[in-house]
């Protein structure tokens, strides 16, 4: 081998080159590069690298870089300087897959409001169990926050639906699993209540409702499904209603957004029975026996309901009722007139004090 430029070892012809050892292929996904590396041969300074039998590299280095994923069967052998005199056995490169980085712990308890009336609200969460992480929050798949805090204030969102996802990241570790999505709907604020009288006798009454948290809204009131009012007031005077049942619902709207309907609240309009004109109850009694009587209503066809200390003791068409067996004490009696399809009359009441000797 003397006289061959660059050849630094004297190897006898016929002696085999020692094969390189521990040939490995490592793929770096970050920069899309495959590296083939191997240990040096002890007695031959040159190497030939092949892919499926085709030469990829020939030279003195014990590594080779390939852009992309290097597939197929990769083999390396050591040779003399001329690649013809001495050749080692081929060594097949083993593919090395580095262990996946350990993922950081996911944040927990992501919370957003289900709805919001003004587009200004907080997204909050509980911290990851891994120290030193950075949180990445997305809104409708667009990153809106990256940092170490465990809350984020949203402001200026217009009416619409917003989905939030959250993960924790840390250099040198795999990202945590994402949590979510949780959704906030920015829309006109709810109306929390609507109120009408339970009954009415003259067909004229007020319907009122709570104010929406969204400013500048218009309210629409429906009566039995048909629009009865639209405007900015939170009450409406109903007039001229005949006998019947009336159900009311209301919603708020602004710039194309609407609150859910609140209601129904129902009232019954019916003519009122005329009142019992007088009730007669003795003011005192000494034996526990006495009569309670009343003057009749001027409405025909009524019945009377008599109560004693709030509990009903009589219903019928009579205008008097006899009590007996009462012990010492105070007894209050109230009477009203009722009629099917009509509103009850007001009650009249009186009290007796019984003192048994």
pLDDT digits (tens, 9 = 90+) for 273-284: 999 999 999 999
- Asked if the model's pLDDT at residue 179 lies above 90, the reply is yes
Structure-block tokens of residue 259? 């609150």
What confidence score (pLDDT) does residue 82 get? 66
Domain 194-269 belongs to what topology? Answer: Immunoglobulin-like (2.60.40)
Which position has the higher pLDDT, 81 or 1?
81
What confidence score (pLDDT) does residue 71 get? 87
What confidence score (pLDDT) does residue 253 get? 97
DSSP secondary structure string for all residues of 285-347: ESSS-EEEEEPPPSSTT-EEEEEETTEEEEEES-SEEEE-S--SEEEEEEEEEE-TTSBPPPP
Range 24-96 classified under CATH 1.20.1070: no
What confidence score (pLDDT) does residue 288 get? 97
- Asked if the model's pLDDT at residue 6 lies above 70, the reply is no
Residue 83 confidence class, pLDDT cut points 50, 70, 90: low
| Calpha distance 245→269 (Å, rounded) | 6
> Any idea what the Cα angle at residue 54 is, between residues 52 and 59, rounded to 5°?
120
Beta-carbon contacts of 337 under 8 Å, excluding residues fewer than 6 positions away, are 273, 274, 275, 276, 296, 297, 299, 302, 303, 304, 344, 345
- Any idea where the domains of the chain sit in the sequence? 24-96, 108-186, 194-269, 279-354
CA distance readout (Å), 42 to 22, 24, 46, 84, 89: 14, 18, 11, 18, 13
Say which residue the tokens 């509103």 belong to. Answer: 343
What confidence score (pLDDT) does residue 86 get? 77
Which position has the higher pLDDT, 28 or 314?
314
Same fold for the pair 108-186 and 279-354:
yes
Residue 23 confidence class, pLDDT cut points 50, 70, 90: confident
What confidence score (pLDDT) does residue 212 get? 96
User: Quick one: what percent of the chain has pLDDT higher than 70?
Assistant: 95
Say which residue the tokens 């309210």 belong to. Answer: 219
What confidence score (pLDDT) does residue 85 get? 66
Residue 29 confidence class, pLDDT cut points 50, 70, 90: confident
126-173, pLDDT tens digit by residue?
Answer: 999 999 999 999 999 999 999 999 999 999 999 999 999 999 999 989
Which position has the higher pLDDT, 285 or 71?
285
Most distant pair of Cα atoms in the chain: their distance: 148
| Calpha distance 292→55 (Å, rounded) | 121
217-260, pLDDT tens digit by residue?
Answer: 999 999 999 999 999 999 999 999 988 999 999 999 999 999 99
Beta-carbon contacts of 61 under 8 Å, excluding residues fewer than 6 positions away, are 47
What confidence score (pLDDT) does residue 9 get? 33
Is 85 strand, coil or helix? coil
Q: What is the CATH number of domain 108-186?
A: 2.60.40.10
Average pLDDT, the chain: 91
Residue 27 confidence class, pLDDT cut points 50, 70, 90: confident
Q: Which CATH class is domain 279-354?
A: mainly beta
Residue 5 confidence class, pLDDT cut points 50, 70, 90: very low
| Calpha distance 133→127 (Å, rounded) | 9
């Amino acid at each position: 081998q003397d006289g061959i430029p660059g050849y630094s070892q004297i190897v006898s012809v016929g002696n085999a080159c020692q094969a390189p050892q521990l040939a490995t292929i490592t793929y770096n996904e970050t920069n899309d590069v495959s590296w083939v590396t191997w240990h040096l041969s002890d007695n031959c300074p040159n190497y030939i690298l092949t892919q499926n039998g085709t030469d990829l590299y020939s030279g003195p280095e014990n590594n080779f870089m390939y852009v992309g994923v290097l597939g197929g069967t990769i083999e390396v052998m050591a040779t003399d300087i001329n690649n013809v005199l001495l050749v080692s056995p081929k060594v097949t490169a083993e593919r090395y897959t580095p262990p996946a980085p350990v993922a950081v712990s996911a944040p927990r308890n992501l919370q957003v409001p289900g709805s919001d009336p003004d587009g200004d609200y907080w997204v909050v969460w509980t911290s990851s169990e891994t120290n030193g992480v950075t949180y990445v929050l997305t809104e409708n798949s667009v990153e809106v926050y990256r940092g170490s805090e465990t809350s984020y204030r949203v402001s200026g969102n217009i009416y619409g639906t917003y989905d939030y996802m959250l993960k924790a990241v840390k250099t040198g570790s795999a990202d945590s699993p994402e949590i979510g999505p949780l959704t906030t709907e920015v829309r006109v604020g709810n109306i929390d209540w609507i109120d009408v009288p339970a009954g009415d006798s003259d067909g004229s009454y007020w319907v009122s409702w709570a104010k929406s948290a969204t400013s500048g809204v218009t309210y629409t009131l429906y009566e039995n499904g048909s629009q009865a009012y639209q405007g900015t007031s939170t009450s409406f005077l109903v007039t001229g209603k005949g006998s019947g049942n009336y159900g009311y619902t209301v919603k708020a709207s602004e710039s194309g957004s609407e609150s859910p309907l609140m209601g129904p609240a129902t009232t019954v309009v019916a003519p009122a029975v005329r009142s019992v004109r007088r009730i007669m109850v003795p003011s005192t009694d000494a034996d526990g026996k006495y009569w309670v009587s009343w003057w009749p209503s001027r409405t025909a066809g009524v019945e009377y309901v008599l109560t004693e200390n709030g509990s009903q003791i009589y219903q019928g068409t009579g205008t008097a009722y006899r009590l007996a067996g009462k012990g010492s004490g105070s007894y209050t009696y109230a009477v009203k007139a009722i009629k099917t399809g009509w509103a009850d009359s007001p009650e009249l009441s009186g009290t007796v004090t019984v003192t048994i000797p």
